[in-house]
A and B are shown apart, each in its own frame.
Chain A
Amino acid sequence: MTFDAAVVAQHAGAIETARWFEATGLPFSDDERGALAALAPRIARVGGWAQARAIADDTRANAAYDAAAREAAALRARAEAAGGTPAVLRALSAVVDRGLPVFFRCARTAIARAGLHDEELSRVAAGAAAEAVYRGALAAALGQPAHPFIALEHAYAAGRWPLARIDETLYVL
C-alpha cells in the first residue's frame, strides 16, 4: 500500500470551491438520495439548523462515530507505515491550513441564512467538515476510492451536513 501525498493536496485544493453547507435544510435531489444511500440503509432529512444540535448531541450517535474514529486511526497508521509520519503529517496539515477559514465562514453564512447566529454551532459544523475532508483525503491517498469516508466527504462538499448515524439511520441536514 502506498500513501500519495499529491492526492491529499488535491482534496485540500478543492476546499475553496466546494459548496459547504449550502444545501442544508433543502429537500434531497434524486442524485443526492442515491449517493447518500451508500452511507446507511436509511436516510432521514433534518429540516433545519435549529434541530442539528440535538441530533449531533445524541449519545446514541456515539457508536457509529467511534467506529468511524477507529477506522480513521487505522487508515492513519497505514498511511504512516507507507509514507512515514512526517510526510503524512505535512500532507494532512494542508487540509487544516486550507480549511481553517473556509469551513467556519461557510457554516456561519448558512446558519445566518437560516436566521440564526450561533458561533458555537458554526464551529461544530466547521469541525465536522474538516474531519470529513481529512478522513476522505486519507482514504483517497491510500488508494481506496470506494471507501465510505470519500462518499461522506462528497456529501459535505455537495452542501450537506451528515449529522449522525443512529442505528440504521443517517440524519442529514
Chain B
Amino acid sequence: MEIVSIEVNSVAELADAPEEYRQAAGKIVRSHAINELYGAQVFDEPAVAFAPTPYWKWLTCRVAMEEYGHHQRFFRLGQKMGISDDAMIPGKTDKRPLTIFEFTMRSWTEFCVIKLLADMAEIIQVEDLMECTFRPLRDEAAKTMPEEKFHAGFGLRSCTELCRTGEGRREVQAAIDALFPGMPAFFGQPHSKNNALYRKWGLKQRTNEAMRADYLERARVLVEDKLGLKLPAPAG
C-alpha cells in the first residue's frame, strides 16, 4: 500500500494539503465529534439516574461533562476546518453514530461495564490518533487521553467493587455477555477502504484488524485476568 510522507501542522496548512487528505481528516474529526456527543447522550447522562448514591451520581455527572467536552474539542476543530455544525451533531447529520451506541443500557452495572469495555476501545482509537500526521488532531487526541484513561479506570474500579459479592459478579458477567459481542465492530470492517486511505496519509497507523486484535487481548486481560470473569466470543 502506498504511504505518503506528509505532516500538516495547523488548520491553515490543511488548505494546502491534497483534497484526499483534507477529506480523510474531516471524516475522522466528524466521526469523533458525533460519537463523543452521542455516547454522552445515550450512556453517561442517563447513567446518573442509575448511580447508587450521590457520590456516584456526581462522578457520573462529571464523566458525562468530560465526554461532552471531548465532543466540543473535536467540534471546534471541525469548525476551524470548515465542517458545518450540523454535520457534527447526531440527529442533524445523516452520518450514523457507531453501532455500539445501539446497546440499551438498563442498569448501573451495565454502565460500569460500558466504561470498562467501551472506553478501552476508545483509548485504542485515541492512541492511534496521537501518532497522526495532522497535528491539530494529534493535539486534541493527547488532551482527551488522560480523561479517557480515567473513565476506563473508573470502569475497572467499579466493576472490581461490584464483583466483591456473588450477585455482583453474576450481574457484571451478564452485562459483559450482553455488551461485549458487539464491541469489536467499534473498529470497523476488515479491509476497510476508509482505513486504507487514513493509513495512506498517516492519519491512522494501524488496520482495523490490528486494532481489533489489540482490543480483544486488552479486554481479555481486563475481564479474565483482572476480574476473574469470562470474556464471551465476539459476534460475527
**Beta-carbon nearest neighbor of A62 in chain B:** B53
Say if the beta carbon of B56 comes within 8 Å of chain A: yes
The 8 Å CB contact of A127, one of B58, B68, B150, B157, is B58
Instruction: Return 14 A-B CB contacts under 8 Å, by A number.
Output: A56-B55, A57-B54, A57-B55, A58-B53, A62-B53, A96-B68, A97-B72, A100-B65, A100-B69, A123-B150, A124-B55, A124-B58, A128-B54, A128-B61
Cα–Cα, bound, A157→B195 (Å) = 48
Say if the beta carbon of A125 comes within 8 Å of chain B: yes
- By a beta-carbon cutoff of 8 Å, the part of chain B in contact with chain A is 49, 52-63, 65-66, 68-69, 72, 150, 154, 157
Say if the beta carbon of A46 comes within 8 Å of chain B: no
Number of A interface residues in the complex (CB < 8 A): 27
Q: Which residues of A contact B150 (CB under 8 A)?
A: 119, 123
Task: Identify the interface centre among B54, B58, B66, B69: most chain A CB within 10 Å of its CB.
Answer: B54
Q: Are B68 and A61 in contact (CB under 8 A)?
A: no
- Which secondary structure dominates chain B's binding surface? helix
Task: Report the minimal beta-carbon distance from B50 to chain A, rounded to whole angstroms.
Answer: 12
Q: Are A124 and B59 in contact (CB under 8 A)?
A: yes
Q: Are A127 and B59 in contact (CB under 8 A)?
A: yes
Cα–Cα, bound, A116→B63 (Å) = 21
Q: Are B65 and A61 in contact (CB under 8 A)?
A: no
Task: Report the minimal beta-carbon distance from A133 to chain B, rounded to whole angstroms.
Answer: 12
The 5 closest A-B pairs by CB, nearest first: A127-B62, A127-B58, A127-B61, A56-B55, A57-B55
The 8 Å CB contact of A126, one of B62, B68, B157, is B62
Task: Report the minimal beta-carbon distance from B214 to chain A, rounded to whole angstroms.
Answer: 26
Cα–Cα, bound, A131→B55 (Å) = 12
Q: Are B65 and A56 in contact (CB under 8 A)?
A: no
A-B contact sample (19 more), CB < 8 A, given A100-B65, A120-B59: A56-B54, A57-B55, A59-B52, A61-B53, A62-B53, A65-B53, A65-B54, A69-B49, A104-B62, A123-B59, A123-B150, A124-B58, A126-B65, A127-B58, A127-B60, A127-B65, A128-B61, A131-B61, A164-B54
